[in-house]
Every structure is written in structure tokens, then in C-alpha cells.
Structure 1
Amino acid sequence: MKLLPGLGFVGPMIGRHPGCVTTQGESLVEHFQSEGYPVIGVSFAKNRYVRLADILLTLVQRRKEIDIQCLQVFGGPSFVVEDLASSVGRLLGQKIIMVLRGGAFPEFMKRYPSWCRRVLSRADAIVSPSTFLSKFVETQGFPCEVIPNIIKLSSYPFRLRQKLSPRLLWMRTFHPIYNPEMAVRVMANVHKEIPGATLVIAGQDKGQQSKVHQLSQQLGLQDAVTFPGYLSMSSKFQEGNVAEIFLNTNHVDNMPVSVVEACAMGLPVVATKVGGIPDLLTDGETGLLVPDDDDVAMTSAVFRLLKDPSLAETLSRNGRKLAERSSWEQIKPKWEDVFSRMMS
């Protein structure tokens, strides 16, 4: 019987902390552990400096348990961690798979080309959850294959949408790159025409929530916009089932799990056409795409869905099919194929 390789998933894994989003690295750790793989996940520390120390110490102390290091690569400030972790892994003789996650990584690599090339050259394989990043790094001379992000599909109840009510949902992190203010401006536009329209705007606060709340009050939306904070899984399903349209307002994006979750629940999605979104969603088939920060265009897309049950049904049905591509049953063989090639 062939032994399974020891896997070390390296990156920020802070979802176990209250109010923090579960990361894809954590999800992969759990899934591969359930499949019988020997797996190490590091680090669960919230503080980035403590996390760096924990990662490096774990890689050294538990080096005999790790055959393949699966390094989550975001770029930005975390690239220091990614540089050091890959360097240590290479010195220890580990195979290294780099998983590109950051939607802003293309801009980061253009700014620091030599540094990025030096780090990426340590990889035995490069993987991305979207064709957006895979196409970019391939133009830089690095082969990259696409393995989508995963969701536990059975946990997302599907409800087919047809004739819609004006109940909108925004679910991400309150951070400037996710542009939550745009969702409130869209709501203000919709509310002028349909006073009974509502918006639930939920997520982890990264310093923007009070500003967004203040904007909603300034626009007279106190009774129309709800801020439930970070949603637990049960609360997420509850809000997703009640909502009718999902808004994705990002300035920067890769393959957002929140959009896949919305699709899984049958929510028609209206999203800004940025980063990896056009590679994830097809306009008019699995979502409606609008220009970045264009609340007028997004408002028009919302009204288009409200007036066209046939379009809403198309997006709802096709969205669920899109989400099915992110099920563990679909994703597991792709990862195992990479592992097999690493260990052959």
C-alpha cells in the first residue's frame, strides 16, 4: 500500500478566532485530514509576527512530517513570510506547491519583479483558484494550473429564484478593497424607487464598518439597511435564504468564496468586473457584471433582475452549477494529481 505524503499547509489560518473568516488553507487541512493524509496546518496565530515565528519553528521542528509544503501566497506584506517559508522548505528538502491567493498579486509582482521571480522559482508547482492569476503568472514564465476554491456544497441549501423581491445581501469584510460603501449607494438608488427594499450588509470589520453605517444614516436608510456583523454558518444560511440578490462590490478580487457561496444558494449575483470575477462569472449566464465602483450600473442591473424573472431563474440555476465545480468531490482529484506528480 502506497503511503500518503505528509502535507504542510502554510499561511494565515485564523478562522478559529471569533469573528474571523475561515480560510481556504484551513478548509484544505480539514478535508485532507478527513481523507487520512498526515497534515500540519500553520499558523493559527492572529499576530503576523507571532505567525511568522510559529511557521518557521514548525517547519524546522516537524520537518520529518512534511513531504510537501503547500504555501498560500498572497503578496503584499505577507510576502516576507512566503519568502522565508519557501526558503526554509527548500533547504529542508520539501517539495513546494505555491497556491496563489491574492487578487492584487499581479500589481505586486509588477512592482517587485525580481523578488517575486526569486520566490516563485522555488516552487515545484504553482496552483491558483482562478484563471485570472494563472494566466498572469504564465505570462511571467511560470506554469500554473487552476484548482478552484472549495465549499461544502451540501451545507448550502439551494432555492431557485425567479420573481424577485428587492432584498439585497452584501457579505464580505469591511475593508476598502471590498468597497462596502458602493452597496449602500446602490441601496439608496433602489430605495428611491422601491421604499420597501432592504439590504443586509454583513462581515468582519476591518475598520470600515462605522464609516459605512454612517453613510447609510446620511442617506436616510436607517430602516432599510441592517448590519448583523460577522455571520456564523447558520446565520449565513439564514440570511442567504431570505435574500434575493447578492452584491459583490470589490475593487480587487480573485476567486471569492462568498460569491461561490451565493451561487450555491441560488442567489443571482451582481458583481464588479474586476480581477478574477470575469473568469469566474459569465455576464448574463452566471451573473451580471458592471464596471468598478459604478453604482448606477449596478443599480440598473438590480432593476433588470427585478423586472425579468426569466433572467433571474437563469442566473440562479447556472449559479448552482458553477458552485458544484467547487465541491470536494470535484476538487480532491485535482489536488491528488498534483501530489502524485510531486512524489513520483
Structure 2
Amino acid sequence: MKNLLYIGNKLLKHGYSATSIETLGVLLESEGYILHYASSKKNKVLRFLDMFFKTLLNAHKVNYVIIDTYSTTNFWYALMVSQLCRVLHIPYISILRGGDLPSRLNTTPFFSKLIFSNSFYNIAPSNYLFTVFKEYYPQNLKLIPNTIDINNYQYQIKERLTAKILWVRSLADIYNPTMAIDVLALLKNNYCDVELCMVGQEKNISISELQEYASSLNVNVTFTGKLSKQDWIKLSENFDIFINTTHFDNTPVSVIEALALGLPVVSTNVGGIPYMLKNRETAMLVSDSDSKAMANAINELIENPELAQNLSNNGRKLVEQFDWQIVKKQWKEILK
């Protein structure tokens, strides 16, 4: 059976949200692949050194190195590890994780070419990144979506929605959590019982900052901090609508999971979102930072149960295509 080295941010044990290295890695192990990982070091310098030396130490026994490739600081991890793989003659597979990778192709074309033109495969988890990268690196590009085990998500059927809103993401500028609070303030004018629950760990925005902002708008928000996947899925049973307020995105797993649960989704129409979701068919899509449009979309879903039910049904059908039993065949094909 194949031995694989998976390079990425394996930081769940430090209280961070699970990333693909901790989900896809486990799924590959369940299929009999032998996985080695780097890195779970919290310090960024130590993490890079761990990635570098794990690649050196495992060079003689792995068939492929899988590298989660992001668009910010972690881009440089991917660059250094990929070039080490070239020196050691180990085929590496770059998974395009960063929603802002298209701008990276333009701002650092030389270094981008070093990674992506020499990889065994570049795996695009979204039609968005597949379309962009097809113009640059069509020869070694493959579309394999982010995956979930659909059996873990019980489909919720609600005949009529209430103004109970769920937001799940890290508390960071890129995900625009203040927009969710703005939407809540607008909805309060129509629904006295409106609720907003925000699930996610603090990144570059603190819960206290968001609480202060909510107070300035005279609204109350429930913050849970980081929850396990099982806990937030259980929590979702108490909510009717899922919102995604991000400035940039690829194919967010939290949105895929919300669709799997049957929650109607209202999202900003950014990055890979319009490549995954169709407005008024699988989700309600609004412009970036347009709080008023998002509030109006939520109001329409509450007032139009038929539209809400159609979104719920179509969303579930869409993400059933992301089930591991389907996606694993694509991974096995490239790893054979």
C-alpha cells in the first residue's frame, strides 16, 4: 500500500479548527494508505523546520508528498517543501487551498511556477480555482472537491423558518464577522425574536471586540468560541438559516456542511462561491459586505417557505456529490 507524507497545518490539538490534513488524511488512512504528517508545531518557524526535516527523513519511504498550498504565509512553506521534493526526486501533489491563490499567481509568478509547474498534480477543490489554474497549468491540473461523509449529517426538514441564524467560521478579518452583526441589527427591525449565534475561534478578532461592536448596535449575539464538529452540528438543530459573510473564499467546508444539514444558506458572492452555488437555486447570494441585501435575503426566506424548501433540497443534492464514497475514487486514481 502507498506511503504518503502530508504537509499542512495540523493544529487541532492546539485548539485550532480542523483543516484538511486532519480530515482528508484520516479518510485516506481509512482506505489503507499509510500517512506521515507535518506539522503539528504551533510556532511557525518550528512548523516549517518540522515540515522540512520530515520530508528529508521520509524521502526514502514515501511514494508521494501531499502539500496543502495556501496563498499567504503558508505559501512559502509549500514553496520550500516542494523544491526539496524536486531535489529528492519525490513526486509531490499540491492541493490548492487558498481562496486568494489567483492573486498569488500574479504577484509572485516565478515562485508560483516553481511550485505548480513541477508538481505531479495540482488538485483544485473548486471550479473557481480549476478555471483560474487551467489558464496557467492545464497539463497537471485535476478537480477533486472538498469531501465530507454525508452520513454524518442528518438532513433537517423545516416547513417554516424563523429568524434564528447561525454563523460558523474563525473570527478573522477575511471572514468579515462584523457583517453578521450588521445583518442582525437590520433584522431586529422586523423580528423581535431574531437570534445570531457565532461559532468559531479567535484569530485576529477577539470575541470581546465583537461583543463591544454588537453592544454599540444594541443587539445581543451568542458566541460559543471553537466547537468540535459534532458539537456545532448538534447546535445547528436550533437554527434555521446559515450565513457566510466572507470577503474571500474557495469551497468552504462549513458551507458544504450547512447544505448537508439542510440549512438554507445566504452567502457573499465571492471567490469560489459562485462557482459552487447558484443564486436562488442552491443558496441566496449577495455582494461582498452588502449587509442590507443579506438581511433582505433572509427576510425573503422567512416569508417564502417554498423558496426556502427548494434551496434546502437542492443544497443537499449538491453536496451529496462531495461524499467520500464518490470523491475517494478520484484520489485513488491519481495515487495508484
**Fold-level match, TM-score > 0.5?**
yes
Give 1:225-304 correspondences, 5 Å limit: 225-304=221-300
Do residues 17 (structure 1) and 33 (structure 2) align?
no
Q: Which amino acid aligns with 2:254?
A: S
Aligned to 2:122: 126
Alignment RMSD: 1.2
Aligned to 2:66: 70
Counterpart of 2:43 (choices 40, 47, 65) is: 47
Give 1:153-192 correspondences, 5 Å limit: 153-192=150-189
Measure how far apart 1:60 and its partner are: 0.8
Q: Which moved further from structure 2: 164-173 or 210-219?
A: 210-219
Structure 2: distance between partners of 1:141 and 1:129:
15
Structure 2 segments unaligned to the other structure (5+ residues): none
Q: Deviations over 1:126-177 (max 9, x none)?
A: 1111011111111123442211111222222211233101100011010000
Measure how far apart 1:240 and its partner are: 1.1
Structure 1: distance between partners of 2:25 and 2:61:
14
- SS of structure 1 residue aligned to 2:302: helix
Aligned to 1:337: 333
Structure 2: distance between partners of 1:161 and 1:216:
29
Measure how far apart 1:62 and its partner are: 1.6
Aligned to 2:309: 313
Counterpart of 1:137 (choices 133, 136, 150) is: 133
Kept after mapping to 1: 8 A contact 2:71/2:99: no
Give 1:202-213 correspondences, 5 Å limit: 202-208=199-205, 209-213=207-211
Do residues 6 (structure 1) and 12 (structure 2) align?
no
- SS of structure 1 residue aligned to 2:92: strand
Q: Which amino acid aligns with 1:198?
A: E
Do residues 199 (structure 1) and 201 (structure 2) align?
no
Distance 1:16 1:327, change over 3 A: farther
Structure 1 segments unaligned to the other structure (5+ residues): none
Counterpart of 1:215 (choices 213, 230, 235) is: 213
- Percent identity of the aligned residues? 33
Structure 1: distance between partners of 2:298 and 2:144:
31
- SS of structure 2 residue aligned to 1:157: coil
Find runs of 4+ consecutive structure 1 residues off by over 4 angstroms: none
Q: Which amino acid aligns with 2:236?
A: G
Structure 1: distance between partners of 2:204 and 2:189:
28
Q: Which amino acid aligns with 2:277?
A: L
Aligned to 1:90: 86
Structure 1: distance between partners of 2:273 and 2:158:
22
Q: Which moved further from structure 2: 318-327 or 295-304?
A: 318-327
Q: Which amino acid aligns with 2:216?
A: Q
Structure 1: distance between partners of 2:22 and 2:226:
18
Kept after mapping to 1: 8 A contact 2:116/2:137: no
Aligned to 2:22: 26
What TM-score results when the alignment is normalised by the length of structure 1? 0.94
- SS of structure 2 residue aligned to 1:33: helix
- SS of structure 2 residue aligned to 1:76: coil
Q: Which amino acid aligns with 1:191?
A: K
Measure how far apart 1:16 and its partner are: 2.7
Measure how far apart 1:12 and its partner are: 1.1
Structure 2: distance between partners of 1:75 and 1:99:
11
What TM-score results when the alignment is normalised by the length of structure 2? 0.97
Aligned to 1:114: 110
Kept after mapping to 1: 8 A contact 2:5/2:58: no
